[in-house]
Amino acid sequence: MDPIYYIYLATLLFSIGAIGVLVRRNAIIVFMSVELMLNAANLVFVAFARMNGNLDGQTVAFFVMVVAAAEVVVGLAIIVQVFRTRASASIDEPNLLKY
Amino acid sequence: MNTFTAPEIDYVAIAPILIVAIAALLSVLTETFLPRSVRRPVQMILTLISLIGALIVLVINRDIRTITGGGAVAIDGPALVLMGTILILALLSAFLVAERSLDSLGDSFAPSAAALPGSVDEREFSARGYFQTEIWTLFLFAVLGMLAFVVANDLLFMFVALEVMSLPLYLMVGMARRRRLLSQEAALKYFVLGAFSSAFFIFGAGLVYGFAGSISLPEINDALASTAGETLLIVIGMAMLLVGLLFKVGAVPFHQWTPDVYQGAPTPITAFMGATVKVAAFGAMMRLLYVAFSGIQWDWEIILWAVSILSMIIGSLIALTQSDVKRMLAYSAIAQSGFILVGVVAASPSGISAVMFYLIAYGLVTVGTLAVISMVRDSTGEATHLSKWAGLGKKSPVLGAVMAVFMLSLAGIPLTSGFVIKFSVFAAGIAEGDTWLVIAAVVASIIAAFFYVRVIVVMFFSAPNENTASVAVPSIFTTITVAATVTATLVLGIIPQPMIDLLTNAGIFIR
Amino acid sequence: MNVYTPILVLGILAFGFAVFSIVIASFTGPKRYNRAKYAAYECGIEPTPQPMGGGRFPVKFYLTAMMFIIFDIELVFLYPWAVSADALGAFGLIAIFLFLINLCLPYAFEWRRGGLEWD
């Protein structure tokens, strides 16, 4: 099978993630959308590693996974703290900061 | 199976980064095993020694030009200059983080970031006189990420450095002692948008890798030189990489987080990130564009043209309407990003040195301004609303004069560093034929001058009233920072030539 | 086929150990039954009955999940090292040890700060 289809799939996943970040209101779901975007990038790297015939892309995929995990931990820490303070995980509700 | 050859690592060349890395790990150990009472002094000494030590090693290393670590790390003139800038600005911000005599409650950070705002736990922590010391660990890791960011010579290392820089900053933003809801909200917004933009960065890196078959910046350049087709892939990839970087510098249209984060973050952290993140991100951006994408200069030039003009005009116009000093500074930071982009677009050796000069001078002014803001207080903490600054210059002439110097420098008035840097960036732009861009920049800086001067007018030409904030007496830490930044601003403005020579000698990004 | 013999042996050993453990436990283990023992999960929240709207999870679960995620996924770097440990030689060994030491530091931090305690 032509690896280019994986690139189309990855682009689709990335777009779904990006739209999810922009339209969803629950912080956790926004967060999952970001993870979807990162994993789409992983798919791009792995597919291109196959197409280019070198291993750089697979190496990158490992690092992106780990960075994504680190981001999850930092992000969940912030979201849980905001949630405990406000008893809500909506990202529309924190609206104290505006001019 | 291929035989494996270990990558050559020039440990001397990367010693400044290693020093900060080791200090950051020691700082984790300090938090783990030392009793609470000694953590703060140990952390402060560790930070101070590592930053100064890295700076000294950097000066000793000043003639090293090498690519090491299997091609992942490029130590060249601009990298050394930018690393030095980051270390100096981090050192000055570290003094602000250490300050604890301005606020009657202690330093600027919540004693326990995990305790709920207004809860029994929080009151108990405050009553026991606990202090936040993990901030130092995060601080060192953020500095480590920034240093790695400006030397990164492949997309993977750049991405990892970007995250090592950003993740501690997200947390530090949410740690303010006062106005904790605002602070947490700022952290949430910064995090969500930051993660969003780094996803763009890595996806763009994937597309570029697909085109070039390599993640190393020089090899991407070679691939661009040898192939003519498939340019859409690389242009989209390059644009997505730029989204990630432009987000970090807060350029329009990726600026929405900037005002909220500047306002919500604890002021020492605002100073730290406002100054150093710009240095790191612009350093990485220049390396990426000049080393990897010089073959498609026309494509990124047009993007940066638009972003630059939008940032300058929108940043300046919205800053005019702001009534909060920190928020106004945030919009000013957006406009200043636009001015720096004029130098980036120029893409010439004089452009590189002009941008580096801009980053140094602007970083010093930013740290200084926020140090001054942290001193202006009323009963609820920092008084950042402009109405509370009325007559402050008459009430406290020294602070007023220092603030005036910073504001004049940001506005670009002669005899301050702001004039020299704006002039050199605009000159580099004119020399490369970006005349219309420079004209737009001049118009924007005239608009921008209004709101900087307005702060001076409010401080000196209106009478103090009962709402006017008072000026807290700082300890030695903030005094050092303010004195150093104001001196540097004036010296760089009056005798800029030594610095210009130094930056010209630093040369260009190596391949 | 020789290559797969160790895997087969390992599989037999694992199966044998599992059977041995279950059998030996029924002879030697103490038998004190109470309500908690009969619950579906010995620890964690009750799966049934669910409150309306799915109910709320205690924040502690997030903390544990976060720590699991970070330490679990960091170990992914051991796989590429493990499959080519011979080729990488001393350089790889030193590098992976430095990595593991780096991983132990935050773990020690977590432990000393009480992040591993449930209550």
Query: Two tokens at B367?
Result: 């740290």
The answer, for C66 touching chain A at a CB cutoff of 8 Å, is yes
pTM for the model:
0.90
Q: Is the peptide bond before A3 cis (omega within 30 degrees of 0)?
A: no
Domain encompassing residue A25? 4-86
* Phi/psi-derived region of residue B129, left when phi > 0, alpha when psi is between -120 and 50, beta in every other case: left
Which residue reads 């994993």 in tokens?
A39
Mutate to test the interface with A, among B202, B220, B254 (most CBs of A within 10 A): B202
The answer, for C73 touching chain B at a CB cutoff of 8 Å, is no
Q: What is the pLDDT of residue C33?
A: 75
C114 chain-B contacts, CB cut-off 8 A: none
Mean pLDDT by 10 residues, chain C (119 residues): 84 95 87 71 59 58 79 87 87 91 89 78
pLDDT band at A98 (very low <50, low <70, confident <90, very high): low
Cα B79 from Cα B286, distance rounded (Å)? 10
C112 chain-B contacts, CB cut-off 8 A: 32-33
b/e A21-39 (16+ beta carbons within 10 angstroms → b): beebeebbebbbbbbbbbb
Query: Two tokens at C69?
Result: 């995620």
Nearest CA to B25 out of A56, C101, C22, A86 is that of C101
The answer, for C92 touching chain B at a CB cutoff of 8 Å, is yes
B72 chain-C contacts, CB cut-off 8 A: none
CB-based contact A62 C70, cutoff 8 Å: no
The answer, for A54 touching chain B at a CB cutoff of 8 Å, is yes
Chains with 3 or more CB pairs under 8 A to chain C: A, B
Four-point Cα dihedral C97, C99, C103, C108, nearest 10: 50
Nearest-CA distance C61 → chain B (Å): 15
Which residue reads 């602000």 in tokens?
B96
The answer, for A94 touching chain B at a CB cutoff of 8 Å, is yes
Chain A residues 58-87 with a CB less than 8 Å from chain B: 59-60, 63-64, 67, 70-71, 74-75, 77-79, 81-82, 84-86
B29 chain-C contacts, CB cut-off 8 A: 105, 108
Task: Determine the average pLDDT of the residues in B116-141.
Answer: 83
For residue B436, pLDDT over 70 is answered with yes
The answer, for A77 touching chain C at a CB cutoff of 8 Å, is yes
**Percentage of residues of chain B with pLDDT beyond 90:** 64
CB proximity list for B265: less than 8 A, separation 6 or greater: B172, B173, B176, B183, B186, B187, B273
Nearest CA to B356 out of B63, B78, B65, B73 is that of B78
* Chain A residue with the nearest C-alpha to that of C63: A77
C113 chain-B contacts, CB cut-off 8 A: 31-32
Please, which residues bridge with residue B378 across strands?
Answer: B381
Task: Determine the average pLDDT of the residues in B20-28.
Answer: 95
pLDDT in tens, B253-303: 899 999 999 999 999 999 999 999 999 999 999 999 999 998 888 889 999
Chain B residues 9-48 with a CB less than 8 Å from chain C: 25, 28-29, 31-33
CB-based contact C89 B29, cutoff 8 Å: no
Name the domain count of chain A: 1
Task: Determine the average pLDDT of the residues in B470-478.
Answer: 87
- Strand residues in B121-248 grouped as ranges (E): none
CB-based contact B3 C87, cutoff 8 Å: yes
What is chain B's mean pLDDT, rounded?
90
> What is the CA C57 to chain-centroid distance, rounded?
22
Task: Determine the average pLDDT of the residues in B466-472.
Answer: 83
B68-72, B306-310, C4-8 — most confident range? B306-310
Q: What is the pLDDT of residue A63?
A: 93
Nearest CA to B492 out of B415, B405, B423 is that of B415
Q: What is the pLDDT of residue B170?
A: 95
Sign of CA dihedral B68, B73, B76, B79: negative
What number of H helices and E strands is found in chain B? 20, 5
Mutate to test the interface with B, among A19, A54, A56, A90 (most CBs of B within 10 A): A56
CATH number, domain at A78?
Answer: 1.10.287.3510
Nearest-CA distance B485 → chain C (Å): 36
Q: What is the pLDDT of residue B1?
A: 47
Query: Two tokens at B347?
Result: 């893409």
Tell me the domain boundaries of chain C.
56-119
Contact indicator for B23, B46 with CB cutoff of 8 Å: yes
Residue A20, classified by CB atoms within 10 Å of its CB into exposed (0-12), middle (13-18) or buried (19+), is: middle
For residue A88, pLDDT over 70 is answered with no
> Higher model confidence: residue B5 or residue B319?
B319
Q: What is the pLDDT of residue B366?
A: 95
Chains with 3 or more CB pairs under 8 A to chain A: B, C
CB-based contact C73 A66, cutoff 8 Å: yes
pLDDT in tens, B421-433: 999 999 999 998 8
The answer, for A72 touching chain C at a CB cutoff of 8 Å, is yes
B28 chain-C contacts, CB cut-off 8 A: 105-106, 109
Contact indicator for B208, B220 with CB cutoff of 8 Å: yes
The answer, for C80 touching chain A at a CB cutoff of 8 Å, is yes
pLDDT in tens, B326-378: 999 999 999 999 999 999 998 888 999 999 999 999 999 999 999 999 999 88
A62 chain-C contacts, CB cut-off 8 A: 76-77, 80
Of A62, A69, A77, the CB nearest to C80: A62
Sign of CA dihedral B479, B481, B482, B484: positive
Cα B224 from Cα C82, distance rounded (Å)? 36
Q: What is the pLDDT of residue B127?
A: 78
CB-based contact B4 C84, cutoff 8 Å: yes
Residue B373's Cβ-side half-sphere holds a number of Cα atoms within 13 Å equal to 28
Nearest-CA distance B246 → chain C (Å): 28
Chain A / chain C CB contacts < 8 angstroms? 33
Q: What is the pLDDT of residue B400?
A: 92
CB-based contact B174 A78, cutoff 8 Å: yes
Of C87, C102, C112, the CB nearest to B4: C87
The answer, for A9 touching chain B at a CB cutoff of 8 Å, is no
